[in-house]
Structure 1
Amino acid sequence: MATAAPEAAAPAAGSKKKLIMIIVIGLVVVLVGAAAALLLLKKKHTAAEEDGAEEDITAQVEKAKPKAKSGTPPVYLPVEPFTVNLTDKEVDRYAQVAVSLEVVDQKTADELKNYMPSIRSGVLMVLAHKSAADLLTKEGKERLQKEIQREALRPLGIEVELEEEAPPDEETDTPKKKKKKKKKAEPNLPVTNVLFSQFIVQ
């Protein structure tokens, strides 16, 4: 009888070990599954955020796109480069400037080609009255754009008034800022913009 008890205890201990092993394996499988599910959820969440960010960027780009004034894109008319001596007295300086005229349609571009000698002459006269200091500032370049636009429109019978430059301040030798007048609504001009393709002052 005494020998039968240890034999009965041995199978019970073995079945307990098997049970513990099954429980441990089951827990490991559950933990691995939970970790895998977590990773998948994180990936989906990250992908959704990236898609959302892409949609936001796309929306911002669409908002940033300028709305076309009309259904047709503008036409660009390149003008041969200008090389002129500037009015600087201390040293001989010159400017090389090339522009393209942005016009509303091909018909206007073709019409302007017929007047190109007159336009070039007007622009050369404008440039010949400039100094290096006039052309090296952003304001000077912007003013030159308006003056070239005015010269391009003159042969078409369109006169554009430009804001007069104030005389320079005697103490600082910088132009005084004039009080801005209320601007009249500009008509739809056939030459809408002047774009620089080359700008060298030496």
Structure 2
Amino acid sequence: MAESSGGSKKLLWIMVVLVLLSSIGAAAAIYMVMSQDKNAGGNAAAQEVAVRQTPIFLKVEPFTVNLAGDRTGSRLLYTGITLRVGDEQSKEILAEHMPQVRSRLLLLLSNKQASELATPDGKEQLSQSIIARLNKPFAENQPDLDLREVLFTEFIVQ
């Protein structure tokens, strides 16, 4: 009989160890699931922070300019430009100084040749030149402009 009680004690200890191991495994599984939910919640919060911003545009009325002479004689450019800015303050500054904006654009464009503007690369370089020209301050103590993009809404070289 002593042997049978020793065997049941071993069985009891094995069952206790198995219960403890299963509890530890279950706790680890629950921890992993909970930490994934927290990470997903963190990603959702990050996604909420990246809220879609409405773009801010300022339209410059279309105008015609004489291009620099080339082998084919005098040429004209008719263009409409829209500026995409990053904030309302930049839009207001550009709108307040629209005569200066148009003057800078006309001076810049009148020095271009039709052959320069005919290619997509030429238009991209023109866009970068416009951004550089318009980022120069219009008045003293003017805050920096957040000029993001120049969009050509009309573009005819004749």
**Alignment partner of 1:79 is 2:60:** yes
In the alignment, what sits opposite 1:106? Answer: 88
Q: 1:118 touches 1:155 (CA, 8 Å); kept in 2?
A: no
Q: 2:57 touches 2:84 (CA, 8 Å); kept in 1?
A: yes
Within 2, Cα distance between the matches of 1:134 and 1:151?
Answer: 18
Higher strand share: 2
Moved over 4 A (4+): 68-71
Within 1, Cα distance between the matches of 2:50 and 2:81?
Answer: 22
**Alignment partner of 1:195 is 2:139:** no
1:150 aligned to which of 118, 121, 132? 132
Q: Relative contact order (C-alpha < 8 Å, sep 6+): which is higher? A: 2
| Deviation (angstroms), 1:87 | 1.4
In the alignment, what sits opposite 1:25? Answer: none
Within 1, Cα distance between the matches of 2:73 and 2:57?
Answer: 36
| Deviation (angstroms), 1:94 | 0.5
Aligned CA RMSD, in angstroms, stands at: 2.3
Q: For the structure 1 residues 193 and 69, does the alpha-carbon distance in structure 2 shift closer, same or farther, using more than 3 Å as the test?
A: farther
Q: Which amino acid aligns with 2:114?
A: A
**Alignment partner of 1:116 is 2:98:** yes
Q: What pairs with 1:50-199 in structure 2 (closer than 5 Å)?
A: 71-89=52-70, 90-155=72-137, 190-199=146-155
- Between the two proteins, the alignment pairs up a number of residues equal to 105
Which whole-Å deviations, capped at 9, do the CAs of 1:47-81 have from their partners, x for residues lacking one? xxxxxxxxxxxxxxxxxxxxx98752220000011
Structure 2, unmatched stretches of 5+, are 1-48
TM-score (norm 2): 0.60
Within 2, Cα distance between the matches of 1:196 and 1:127?
Answer: 13
Q: For the structure 1 residues 134 and 70, does the alpha-carbon distance in structure 2 shift closer, same or farther, using more than 3 Å as the test?
A: farther
Percent identity reads 37
Which whole-Å deviations, capped at 9, do the CAs of 1:155-179 have from their partners, x for residues lacking one? 357xxxxxxxxxxxxxxxxxxxxxx
